[in-house]
Protein backbone atom coordinates (compact mmCIF):
# COMPACT_ATOMS: atom_id res chain seq x y z
CA UNK A 1 0.00 0.00 0.00
CA UNK A 2 1.34 3.43 -0.89
CA UNK A 3 2.22 5.77 1.99
CA UNK A 4 -0.36 8.39 0.94
CA UNK A 5 -3.10 5.73 0.85
CA UNK A 6 -2.10 4.38 4.26
CA UNK A 7 -2.04 7.87 5.81
CA UNK A 8 -5.40 8.73 4.23
CA UNK A 9 -7.04 5.60 5.62
CA UNK A 10 -5.70 6.28 9.11
CA UNK A 11 -6.82 9.91 9.06
CA UNK A 12 -10.34 8.93 7.99
CA UNK A 13 -10.53 6.19 10.63
CA UNK A 14 -9.77 8.81 13.29
CA UNK A 15 -12.53 11.28 12.42
CA UNK A 16 -14.67 11.30 15.59
CA UNK A 17 -18.42 10.70 15.56
CA UNK A 18 -20.33 13.92 15.02
CA UNK A 19 -17.45 15.54 13.09
CA UNK A 20 -16.52 15.79 9.41
CA UNK A 21 -13.42 16.47 7.35
CA UNK A 22 -13.10 17.63 3.75
CA UNK A 23 -11.43 15.71 0.94
CA UNK A 24 -8.84 18.46 0.51
CA UNK A 25 -8.14 18.67 4.23
CA UNK A 26 -7.47 14.92 4.36
CA UNK A 27 -5.23 15.10 1.29
CA UNK A 28 -3.21 17.94 2.84
CA UNK A 29 -2.78 16.12 6.15
CA UNK A 30 -1.83 12.92 4.34
CA UNK A 31 0.97 14.78 2.59
CA UNK A 32 -0.40 15.65 -0.85
CA UNK A 33 -2.42 18.91 -0.80
CA UNK A 34 -3.60 18.58 -4.40
CA UNK A 35 -4.85 14.99 -4.11
CA UNK A 36 -8.47 15.52 -3.00
CA UNK A 37 -9.69 13.39 -5.91
CA UNK A 38 -7.40 10.59 -4.81
CA UNK A 39 -9.07 10.72 -1.38
CA UNK A 40 -12.39 10.21 -3.18
CA UNK A 41 -10.98 7.17 -4.98
CA UNK A 42 -9.61 5.71 -1.74
CA UNK A 43 -12.99 6.15 -0.06
CA UNK A 44 -14.78 4.56 -3.00
CA UNK A 45 -12.49 1.56 -3.28
CA UNK A 46 -11.47 0.91 0.33
CA UNK A 47 -14.28 2.04 2.65
CA UNK A 48 -15.78 -1.40 3.06
CA UNK A 49 -12.50 -3.30 3.32
CA UNK A 50 -11.08 -0.94 5.97
CA UNK A 51 -14.42 -0.10 7.62
CA UNK A 52 -13.95 3.62 6.99
CA UNK A 53 -16.51 6.13 8.28
CA UNK A 54 -16.92 7.41 4.70
CA UNK A 55 -19.99 9.43 5.64
CA UNK A 56 -17.81 11.83 7.68
CA UNK A 57 -16.05 13.15 4.57
CA UNK A 58 -17.61 16.06 2.67
CA UNK A 59 -16.56 18.63 0.09
CA UNK A 60 -14.90 21.97 0.83
CA UNK A 61 -18.27 23.74 1.02
CA UNK A 62 -19.50 21.36 3.70
CA UNK A 63 -21.79 19.60 1.26
CA UNK A 64 -22.37 15.95 0.56
CA UNK A 65 -20.79 15.17 -2.77
CA UNK A 66 -23.30 12.59 -4.00
CA UNK A 67 -25.62 13.63 -6.81
CA UNK A 68 -27.60 10.40 -6.46
CA UNK A 69 -30.56 11.14 -4.18
CA UNK A 70 -30.47 7.78 -2.39
CA UNK A 71 -26.73 8.02 -1.63
CA UNK A 72 -27.15 11.65 -0.54
CA UNK A 73 -29.88 10.81 1.96
CA UNK A 74 -28.01 7.76 3.22
CA UNK A 75 -24.99 9.90 4.09
CA UNK A 76 -27.20 12.66 5.52
CA UNK A 77 -28.99 10.17 7.78
CA UNK A 78 -25.72 8.67 9.04
CA UNK A 79 -24.42 12.16 9.90
CA UNK A 80 -27.66 13.21 11.56
CA UNK A 81 -27.60 10.03 13.66
CA UNK A 82 -24.24 11.25 14.98
CA UNK A 83 -25.66 14.68 15.84
CA UNK A 84 -24.63 16.67 12.76
CA UNK A 85 -27.60 18.94 12.01
CA UNK A 86 -27.93 20.48 8.53
CA UNK A 87 -30.11 20.84 5.46
CA UNK A 88 -27.81 21.02 2.42
CA UNK A 89 -24.63 22.45 3.90
CA UNK A 90 -22.79 21.42 7.07
CA UNK A 91 -21.54 24.24 9.28
CA UNK A 92 -17.81 23.51 9.11
CA UNK A 93 -17.08 25.98 11.92
CA UNK A 94 -19.00 23.73 14.32
CA UNK A 95 -18.61 20.26 12.84
CA UNK A 96 -15.24 20.13 11.09
CA UNK A 97 -12.60 18.01 12.81
CA UNK A 98 -9.33 19.91 12.77
CA UNK A 99 -6.49 17.82 14.14
CA UNK A 100 -3.20 19.67 14.50
CA UNK A 101 -0.44 18.58 12.12
CA UNK A 102 1.46 17.08 15.07
CA UNK A 103 -1.66 15.20 16.22
CA UNK A 104 -1.92 13.45 12.86
CA UNK A 105 1.47 11.89 13.52
CA UNK A 106 0.06 10.32 16.70
CA UNK A 107 -2.41 8.17 14.80
CA UNK A 108 -0.28 7.44 11.74
pLDDT at residue 62, rounded to an integer: 96
* Adjacent-strand bridge partners of 89: 63
pLDDT at residue 87, rounded to an integer: 87
What is the topology classification, in CATH, of domain 3-96? Arc Repressor Mutant, subunit A (1.10.10)
Predicted TM-score (pTM) of the model is 0.90
User: CA–CA separation, 88 vs 46, rounded Å?
Assistant: 26
pLDDT tens over the chain, length 108 residues: 899 999 999 999 999 999 999 999 999 999 999 999 999 999 999 999 999 999 999 999 999 988 889 999 999 999 999 999 998 899 999 999 998 766 666 656
- How many Cα neighbours within 13 Å face the side chain of 63? 5
| Domain residue limits, the chain | 3-96
Amino acid sequence: MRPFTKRTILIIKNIPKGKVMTYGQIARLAGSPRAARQVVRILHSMSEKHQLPWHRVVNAKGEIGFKDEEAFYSQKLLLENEGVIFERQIDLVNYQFRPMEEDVGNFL
